[in-house]
Amino acid sequence: MTQTLTIIRPDDWHLHLRDGELLAGTVPATANVFGRAIIMPNLTPPVVNLAQAQAYRQRIMAQVPAGVEFEPLMVLYLTDNMQPQEIADAAASGIVYGAKLYPAGATTNSDSGVSDPSKIFPLYEALEKHGIPLLLHGEVTDSDIDIFDREKYFIDRHLGVIREQFPALKIVFEHVTTKEGVDFVKANGRLTAATVTPQHLMLNRNDLLVGGVRPHHYCLPILKRREHQEAIQAAVLSGHTQFFLGTDSAPHARNAKEAACGCAGCYSAPAALPLYAHFFDTHGALDKLEAFASQFGPAFYGLPEHNDTVTLIKKDWQIPATQHIAGVEFTPWQGGETIRWCLAD
């Protein structure tokens, strides 16, 4: 008999949809499965005020397929020049659910990010006061710090201080990639959480580099050594409430990834939920998928769980090797690979 798994409709707590014509492909890929998503603001130019968030939200909503209910949870992009009033306005709007800290230069479209995370304390104060979570790209950018150590340094230099100074601030350590990150989240109680991507659960840096460089596994923060992967796996498989689903799905055209200077980001949205199901099943922990995908996130953000469900089927499924959006070719993450789960409809 075919095995099926029905879970409360999940949410994606970290997603890049991009903008313009690409929304016609990226929005359905997520909205057909996930009920809500935290929408990353690293557009060019970035989403730095409420008016931009409202306009971007409308462009997203215009691409939600008919009959599908989907709520984009908008995020402001923090900058050196942002005024606390911007955060107050965003909070009052009811459409903004987070503020993203990109250290300047850390990743794709982060040039307008924060030059020094220790210089925007008035913004953290405003976020704490208005109940808006701080979402962190937790890496330092100093050129003398090794790329594999950048997350650890961010924790030591910045995260500890922010956590201590703003005890009521909700903090999400986005796409956690290290044991140090996992330990920090575990040690800091229910107002500190982490999102976990499929690639950081399923791969380590050997998968990126041994036997040839795999540009489609290149993302930031970069995949780390196996012991870090195992720490992330252990936290998630134990059903720890402070770790929940956030794909960090981040499409780049195939030719921009397969290039001499390839872009960082894995376009995981087309197969995201089956990929997570495959991971949990591989580790004999399918019973933990629902809370990770559909319950811990809403609990952290103070939102209701969805009252409908999605169903997965245990059946070999080959992830499409390619997807065209607006005439541009994308390679879905793990495209061409066969996994053991797929969506029912």
Q: Residues with catalytic annotation?
A: 248
Sheet with 171-173: strands ordered across: 12-15, 36-39, 71-77, 96-101, 134-136, 171-173, 192-196, 243-245
Count of residues interacting with Zn ion (CB under 5 A) = 1
Element (H, E) at 90: helix 84-93
- For ligand DOR, give the closer residue by CB, 188 or 195: 195
Q: Which stretch binds Zn ion (CB under 5 A): 192-200, 216-224, 231-239, 245-253?
A: 245-253
Judged by CB under 5 A, the residue of 12, 128, 180, 248 near Zn ion is: 248
- For ligand DOR, give the closer residue by CB, 136 or 277: 136
- For ligand DOR, give the closer residue by CB, 250 or 342: 250
The partner in contact with residue 73, picked from ligand DOR, Zn ion, none with C-beta cut-offs of 5 to 8 angstroms by kind, is: none
Site for ligand DOR in 42-71 (CB under 6 A): 42
The partner in contact with residue 220, picked from Zn ion, ligand DOR, none with C-beta cut-offs of 5 to 8 angstroms by kind, is: ligand DOR
- For ligand DOR, give the closer residue by CB, 26 or 233: 26
Which region, left, alpha or beta, applies to residue 211 given φ > 0 means left and ψ of -120 to 50 means alpha? left
Element (H, E) at 245: strand 243-245
Residue 150 touches ligand DOR, criterion: CB under 6 A = no
- For ligand DOR, give the closer residue by CB, 19 or 89: 19
Site for ligand DOR in 241-270 (CB under 6 A): 250, 264-265
Residue 151 touches Zn ion, criterion: CB under 5 A = no
Residue 71 touches Zn ion, criterion: CB under 5 A = no
Residue 36 touches ligand DOR, criterion: CB under 6 A = no
Q: Which of 170, 165, 168, 204 shows the shortest CA–CA distance to 185?
A: 170
Question: CA–CA separation, 337 vs 131, rounded Å?
Answer: 42
Residue 139 touches Zn ion, criterion: CB under 5 A = no
Judge contact between 51 and 89, C-beta under 8 A: no
- For Zn ion, give the closer residue by CB, 13 or 166: 13
Judge contact between 42 and 110, C-beta under 8 A: yes
Residue 220 touches ligand DOR, criterion: CB under 6 A = yes
Judged by CB under 6 A, the residue of 14, 100, 137, 179 near ligand DOR is: 137
For strands 171-173 and 134-136, give the pairing. Answer: parallel
Helix (H, G, I), strand (E, B) or coil at 189: coil
Q: How many CB atoms sit inside 10 A of residue 117's CB?
A: 24
Q: Which long-range contacts (CB under 8 A, 24 or more apart) does 155-158 make?
A: 155/180, 155/181, 155/184, 157/118, 158/117, 158/118
Tokens 């390679």, located at residue: 331
Residue 217 touches ligand DOR, criterion: CB under 6 A = no
In sign, the C-alpha dihedral spanning 7, 184, 221, 130 is: positive
The partner in contact with residue 254, picked from ligand DOR, Zn ion, none with C-beta cut-offs of 5 to 8 angstroms by kind, is: none
Point out which residues bind ligand DOR (CB under 6 A).
16, 42, 107-108, 137, 219-220, 250, 264-265
Give the footprint of Zn ion on this chain (CB under 5 A). Answer: 248
